[in-house]
Amino acid sequence: MALKTSKNIDIKLLVILGIIALAIVSAVYYVSHREITDPQVLIAKTVAASEDITTYRFALATNISMPEGAVEMMSSTGSVDYQNKKLHTTVTAMNRSMEMIVIGDTAYVRESYGSWQTRNVSDYSSSTWESDQLAQQRSLLANATNVTMQKEENGWVLDIIPDREEVIEQMNRTGLETIKEEELIDFSIKYWIEKDTYWITKIENKIELTMNIQGLVTQMKLNNSVKLYDYNKERAIEAPI
């Protein structure tokens, strides 16, 4: 009789433990998969996800619009290996092409498939890895206050008007010290964020400026589009021989 009672207690205990385990799993699943309605929660998850990225590829295009018309200013494709601090990119601008491989703080550069030349990238910016696309976006997102979002089938679209001082600082980091704060009229960024991974798949930003060009104050707009893909896939980036 005691043995039968003991078995009944064991079965009840197992059932209770099973229910507790199921409740815990369900709670964890709910917390990780619940619908995101707060843009700041989405930003926090996007920033956290970007910190775990080791490699990615990108395709970038920049065009400029002035009263005289619009023209593509630059296009670029490349790969980034955060873990080993390596970068390989090809840039086309003003009918000229340039290929660059960065290993740490050493850059190997050549124009139009000519001979390679060596540069120290720290001579041009404080750190290549601080001015990298994802590093920039983490900083801009973390400091964003004016934010709206909309849900799409494959994720979200996030619109932000970033902190003005942060924008100027980012420009300085990337070598655009010639742009003064009073010349910056407007700046906005739109992000496409993938559901489940919270990876940024596309970025579009618009910059409106007034600049003094040869004594003439000119209003211009810069439209920049970046596609980001092949996250955390092995990249083979080596210094040229």
CATH number of the domain where residue 208 is located: 2.50.20
Q: What is the pLDDT of residue 230?
A: 94
Q: What is the pLDDT of residue 201?
A: 93
Residue 71: which domain range?
Answer: 36-81+127-229
Nearest to 81 by CA among 45, 125, 139, 134: 134
The arithmetic mean of pLDDT across residues 115-130, rounded, is 69
Confidence class for position 130, pLDDT limits 50, 70, 90: low
CA dist., res. 177 & res. 167, Å (int)? 12
Other CB atoms closer than 10 Å to residue 35's CB: what's the count? 5
188 domain-assigned = yes
Task: Provide the domain count of the chain.
Answer: 1
In the predicted structure, residue 192 carries a pLDDT above the cut 90: yes
Confidence class for position 231, pLDDT limits 50, 70, 90: very high
Nearest to 136 by CA among 181, 87, 170, 169: 170
99 domain-assigned = no
The DSSP line for 118-143 is: EEEGGGTSS-TTTSSHHHHHHHHHHT
What is this structure's pTM?
0.73
67 domain-assigned = yes
Q: What is the pLDDT of residue 82?
A: 82
98 domain-assigned = no
CA dist., res. 67 & res. 211, Å (int)? 13
Highest mean pLDDT among 96-100, 132-136, 137-141, 177-181: 96-100
Q: What is the pLDDT of residue 205?
A: 83
29 domain-assigned = no
Q: What is the pLDDT of residue 216?
A: 77
In the predicted structure, residue 75 carries a pLDDT above the cut 50: yes
In the predicted structure, residue 145 carries a pLDDT above the cut 90: no
In the predicted structure, residue 74 carries a pLDDT above the cut 60: yes
117 domain-assigned = no
Residue 181 has what DSSP assignment?
A: G
Q: What is the pLDDT of residue 143?
A: 72
In the predicted structure, residue 84 carries a pLDDT above the cut 50: yes
Nearest to 80 by CA among 204, 200, 233: 233
Angstrom CA distances, 174 to 80, 136, 169, stand at: 16, 10, 9
Instruction: Kindly report the backbone phi and psi dihedral angles of residue 142, in degrees, each rounded to the nearest multiple of 5, phi listed first.
Output: -65, -30
116 domain-assigned = no
In the predicted structure, residue 1 carries a pLDDT above the cut 60: no
Q: What is the pLDDT of residue 25?
A: 45
**Letter for the amino acid at 151?**
K
* Rg, the chain, Cα only: 25
Highest mean pLDDT among 128-137, 163-172, 231-240: 231-240
Confidence class for position 241, pLDDT limits 50, 70, 90: confident
Q: What is the pLDDT of residue 212?
A: 72
pLDDT in tens, 16-72: 555 555 454 444 333 344 457 788 888 888 888 888 888 999 898 888 887 777 777
114 domain-assigned = no
In the predicted structure, residue 89 carries a pLDDT above the cut 50: yes
Q: What percent of the chain has pLDDT over 70?
A: 71
